[in-house]
A and B are shown apart, each in its own frame.
Chain A
């Protein structure tokens, strides 16, 4: 099946721990994105990458890190420096036109 796969769907983390969210796409898209969604806040851009081995900070990059070693993969690490990491995280990929989303990963910090 073609699409964007995020894992895990649900994740619990203790304070002070880093956690990595996986995002894989087989749509041959050049660009990939990570968004954070909080109730009433809409979608806020964390990081994006338009080509392999290159990525740019979005609007709320502090406390997050990414890598883009392969076209198909764009993992997001939520570090212990992120003050309020509990949220719904969405990965997306696309071309110059449309953007397509994965099903999301819900991170809860205990």
Chain B
């Protein structure tokens, strides 16, 4: 099946620092999604990307859909303590198949 490699697995940063995480795929995706999950809660959609090369921002978050359609990255600028959580990427290969493939997540810890 499709594989998504998400890195890094975990990050420990100081408040105010910028953060970058990425996902790479073994196959082409038509949609990339980025989610954040707080402990004991369901993931919340942060950013959705639909076109190769697309760069989209949501407040301090910026995500890009790679030109090759096999990768995506998420940047968080000026991190704050409430950015703590697990960040997941997810991709969809398109067509009539609604299935998403998820990365294993990046655990972000922000030290105040």
Contact = CB atoms under 8 A, between A and B. Distances in A.
A66 B45 CA distance: 25
Contact of B50 (A31, A43, A97): A97
A85 interface: no
A59 B104 contact: no
Contacts of B11: none
Contacts of A43: 43, 88, 102
Interface string B36-62: 000011111100101000000000000
B112 interface: no
Given A42-B104, A43-B102, A59-B1, A90 B43 contact: yes
Interface of A: 4, 6, 31, 35, 40-43, 45, 48, 50, 58-59, 88, 90, 92, 94-104, 106
Interface string B66-94: 00000000000000000000001010000
A50 B98 contact: yes
A58 B101 CA distance: 11
B40 A106 contact: yes
A103 B96 CA distance: 27
**Dominant SS at the B interface?**
loop
Nearest to A50: B98
A100 B45 contact: yes
Given A50-B98, A99-B33, A104 B48 contact: no
B25 to A, nearest CB: 14
A35 B104 CA distance: 13
A16 B51 CA distance: 48
B104 A40 contact: yes
A48 B102 CA distance: 15
A41 B104 contact: yes
Nearest to B103: A42
Given A48-B98, A50-B98, A97 B104 contact: no
14 contacts: A31-B98, A35-B102, A41-B104, A42-B105, A43-B43, A43-B88, A58-B99, A90-B42, A96-B98, A97-B48, A101-B35, A101-B42, A104-B40, A106-B40
